Chains A and B, each alone.
Chain A
């Protein structure tokens, strides 16, 4: 089975880190992540596949590729970063073991053919990643990890109920069969609404988004990167499938409202953030809200959402890794303590600036294109008034975040330059990739034609 290869490599990596290779966990992890990257690129060119357990179409391939790229980058960045944390909560081999099993669960979640098993996979990501949040080993980190585990688990119980309802409404949980029978009925609708709320919790969608900023703010940089970049989109994956199964008007409006409220809260909340990692966490909420809007609207807005998710993954993972660099050199998490990064760490500063522009949707980036598609479809469906309110919220987010980032990067006195670590290359490559995604849009569109109707 070629499709399970990335997940299998990650699992093997995790097992090897635990047994036998405790001293060489870094080498093992780099090796397995490279293998899974190669295999996921290979999957990209193989045929669609569906059996009783696996359902792989182009959407799954895109998600696999995204996970694999971010995974590879995060593993490489972790090599040095994890050594710099003093008084770790878990040992280094445990860190890599959990990271690998976490990624394996995500790989599995996007290729499974059963909504119940997808739930199992996504819940598995929760408990495998909870200890990663607490690596820094102070009371705040533990509290953040605890909030993460309890709020997300409660949210996922809701989506479990949803799964139960879907099963009793349609007598099957297989995505392939559900796509063919096109179920309707009130029990299905109720299940679908609960499904959106439940998985929305994990994706940081409005009513239960409180854990997200805590967990992203307190976890070490590579973990924040992989959370924001892939964990949130993977939680949106079942919702994408749901809208493929039945694009109902009521459901679509419900998801639109949730997404709209997430965008609104995130953009307003980002105004009074004093810690830069929390600032970017709110930016993630905003982007996920936009992606949910895109998913709910369907057709070309769905393409916009996927582009947004894809480009956001690279840009946001890059940004979070760069914040790790800043934290390491400035020893502070507050925005007001940081100034003149461009003088002290030229590469970090420059790419933090580019990355934040890309993430908030400045024109040359692919995220701009995604947002553009989503907003135009919104205006098309819901009229100018709602569209312009949404645009103004996105604009507010753009202004607040970039204002703070520019303050951090360009202001301040001249300081002595600090030698940047060689691993800064990883976030730089990631941010560059996200900008280069713009070029690949036509290919992406042709590739996703089966998914977007």
Chain B
């Protein structure tokens, strides 16, 4: 019962935050609301008994991403220009509404086939999850099944993820890291390079 109340409250806050994000033009406030959105999602994950995911969402979504977006914001303008002031209206106002309504109803229709949350017959519960729950403790001796799956059963996947994070850091370093050297002033042999 208390779960339902918390769920509805959190989801209502999520909806309010999303609407506020859409309607705002102050980018600083939007970044802050993104952080709040992530924190609310983390709360929802906790209610759904997924503390590992909630942990990640709170640390990455609410923490690091907000800081990175703020750091980016310091380099660009604080205020988004309202686009309807300059651009002429090229479409009818009801068209987006129709598209959103059709997409939304299709998505809601799609949820009808989804098994209930935590239903014992759901495919998520009947395939490998059962194996992990039964064998994780005797196989690895690690009480946290999430860690056992992540680091042991699915060790290859996690190795790939770590490599992805490492690659991201390398890519950012290559693109905007380090000090920018001044462009060398060369005028003489410019023609040669163009030929080659």
Do chains A and B interact in one complex? no
Binding site for A on B (CB under 8 A): none
